């Protein structure tokens, strides 16, 4: 799939390599190099992999030429990502020719889907490991070093890596991802996730609370709860004093994390509209430190197309959900995913998507044209019958509309005062800090006497289409 930009696929991070530890007195027998592609879950998974490798005596390096082991953590949700990974593997093949003992591995969703191609046909890699099999990496590395191919792409019904503390190698020390569940049961017809990441399973709530508490105590001030379908979270492991199970829902979990400390901001991604319940909305509204921002992917403005996509809701139902969000959380930021050019989509149905965008006034939209993914329900049931030129034209119309709406959304912020968490130094001016508002909008302002991790009350005085410009003010 092609997109303008995505939260799930932050283009600035695609191909990001882990940096070595800032202070590291350990002596490692070997070094690993990891590049990550795809969604936030993939980047979080790379932190789990780094932890497993570190416990096996491997240290991180940001120089692939120096590594003993090279891993690419991959995504299968769009063809562009797969082609990028294939090109990168060809480059690593050149390094391997010079250093035959180098081990090259593919992790993640592409590993599960394309294991035969990588191992037998293209002969690009030594190790192929699916997203539920990272614990087996030390053994697979031993096999690869002895000249065997290491493969484990089995999906699990219970693997959550709850007991593994991620190694946060690229962290700003302020914000962190926390994985709370894996897999998806929704079976949207265009999506590969149920096939590459398996069925839904949630981490136990106690391990999540402990991880978030530890992060806060280490100085982190924001956590983003991650999952393929995060608001379907459900943990029924806990027992009361009378031995009855007391399930923890997503709304319950949000509250538990928010109660760790008022200075810990809580975000989440990604949600399915059907699971954003009133309980979730009221919990967000009740706690100041749960951010007023919801990613609510709609995919299409046409009820007929939504039915073909197996999204389980109609246009009218989705609009009612948006209205409910604005009723309970009036100042809530809203973003979405839109796919244009899905199988049999008519011009009138494309216009329905544009009109839905007009109605909802999204702060941010992630826009794609449909790209058939092998193995999905849509690939098996429907013809990909919309010409590519038509898909691209419709996508451009979406992008053009969203650019107008995005600028308008930023302009509405001018004159307002927002609480901003400082996340780093501005890339354009090293005398400025940047951070995000509660509604997930980026703000830049003069550093002054502030530091990373501080909350600053900022008056918005100007904006561009993508950035708010502010000045610190008295709270």
- Any idea of the CA torsion for 385, 390, 391, 395, to the nearest 10 degrees? -160
Burial class, 464, CB count within 10 angstroms (exposed 0-12 / middle 13-18 / buried 19+): exposed
How many C-beta atoms surround the C-beta of residue 378 within 10 A?
21
Phi, psi of 462 (to 5 degrees): -165, 175
In this prediction, the residues of the chain whose per-residue pLDDT falls under 50 are 1-9, 22-23, 25
Instruction: Supply the pLDDT for residue 242.
Output: 64
Burial class, 472, CB count within 10 angstroms (exposed 0-12 / middle 13-18 / buried 19+): middle
DSSP count for the chain of H helices, then E strands: 14, 23
Decide: helix, strand or coil at residue 145. Answer: helix
Dist CA 256 CA 213 (whole Å): 10
Pick from 6, 143, 129, 133: which is nearest to 73 by CA? Answer: 129
Q: Are 291 and 266 in contact (CB under 8 A)?
A: yes
Phi, psi of 317 (to 5 degrees): -65, -40
Pick from 282, 279, 278, 258: which is nearest to 268 by CA? Answer: 258
Instruction: Supply the pLDDT for residue 18.
Output: 52
Dist CA 226 CA 204 (whole Å): 14
How many C-beta atoms surround the C-beta of residue 249 within 10 A?
21
Phi, psi of 273 (to 5 degrees): -50, -35
Instruction: Supply the pLDDT for residue 2.
Output: 33
Dist CA 96 CA 118 (whole Å): 15
Give just the sign of the alpha carbon dihedral 107, 47, 221, 450: negative
Pick from 57, 70, 106: which is nearest to 85 by CA? Answer: 106
Give the length of the chain.
Answer: 475
Instruction: Supply the pLDDT for residue 34.
Output: 92
Instruction: Supply the pLDDT for residue 9.
Output: 43
In SS3 terms, 327-370 reads as HHCCCCEEEEEEEECCCCCCHHHHHHHHHHHHHHCCCEEEEEEC
Question: Tokens for 92?
Answer: 């690593």
What is the DSSP code (8-state) at residue 120? I
Instruction: Supply the pLDDT for residue 172.
Output: 86
- Write down all domains in the chain, each with its CATH number in brackets: 2-152 (3.40.50.12160), 175-411 (3.80.30.20), 417-472 (2.40.50.140)
């Amino acid at each position: 799939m092609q997109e303008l930009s995505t939260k799930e696929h932050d283009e600035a991070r695609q191909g990001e390599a882990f940096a070595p530890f800032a202070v590291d007195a350990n002596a490692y027998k070997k070094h690993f190099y990891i590049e990550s592609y795809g969604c936030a879950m993939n980047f979080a998974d790379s932190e789990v992999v780094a932890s497993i490798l570190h416990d096996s005596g491997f240290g991180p390096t940001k120089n692939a030429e120096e590594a003993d082991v090279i891993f690419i953590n991959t995504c299968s949700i769009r063809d562009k990502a797969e082609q990028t990974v294939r090109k990168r593997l060809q480059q690593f093949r050149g390094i391997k020719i010079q250093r035959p003992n180098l081990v090259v591995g593919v992790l993640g969703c592409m590993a599960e889907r394309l294991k035969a191609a990588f191992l037998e046909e293209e002969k690009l890699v030594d190790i192929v490991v699916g997203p539920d099999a990272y614990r087996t990496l030390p053994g697979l590395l031993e096999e690869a070093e002895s000249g065997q191919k290491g493969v484990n792409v089995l999906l699990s019904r219970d693997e959550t890596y709850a007991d593994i503390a991620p190694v946060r190698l690229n962290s700003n020390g302020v914000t962190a991802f926390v994985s709370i569940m894996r897999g998806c049961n929704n079976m949207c017809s265009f999506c590969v996730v149920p096939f590459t990441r398996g069925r839904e399973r949630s981490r136990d709530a106690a391990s999540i609370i402990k991880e978030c508490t530890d992060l806060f105590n280490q100085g982190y001030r924001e956590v983003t709860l991650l999952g393929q379908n995060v608001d379907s979270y459900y943990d029924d492991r806990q027992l009361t004093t009378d031995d009855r199970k007391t399930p923890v829902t997503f709304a319950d979990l949000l509250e538990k994390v928010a109660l760790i400390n008022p200075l810990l901001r809580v975000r989440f991604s990604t949600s399915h509209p059907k699971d954003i319940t009133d309980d979730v909305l009221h919990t967000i509204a009740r706690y100041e430190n749960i951010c007023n921002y919801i990613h609510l992917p709609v995919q299409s403005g046409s009820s007929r197309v939504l039915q073909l996509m197996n999204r389980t809701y109609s246009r009218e139902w989705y609009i009612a959900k948006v209205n409910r969000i604005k009723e309970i959380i009036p100042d809530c930021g809203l973003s979405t995913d839109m796919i244009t050019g899905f199988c049999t989509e008519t011009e009138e149905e494309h216009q329905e998507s544009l009109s839905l965008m007009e109605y909802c006034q999204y702060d941010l939209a992630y826009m794609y044209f449909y790209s058939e993914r092998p193995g999905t329900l849509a690939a098996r049931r429907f013809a990909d019958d919309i010409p590519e030129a038509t898909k691209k034209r419709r996508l451009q119309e979406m992008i053009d509309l969203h650019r107008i709406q995005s600028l308008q959304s930023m302009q509405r912020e001018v004159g307002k005062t927002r609480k901003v968490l400082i996340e780093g130094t501005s890339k354009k001016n090293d005398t400025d800090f940047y951070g995000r508002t509660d509604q997930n909008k980026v703000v830049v302002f003069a550093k002054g006497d502030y530091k990373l991790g501080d909350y600053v009350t900022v008056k918005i005085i100007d904006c561009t289409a993508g950035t708010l410009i502010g000045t610190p003010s008295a709270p």
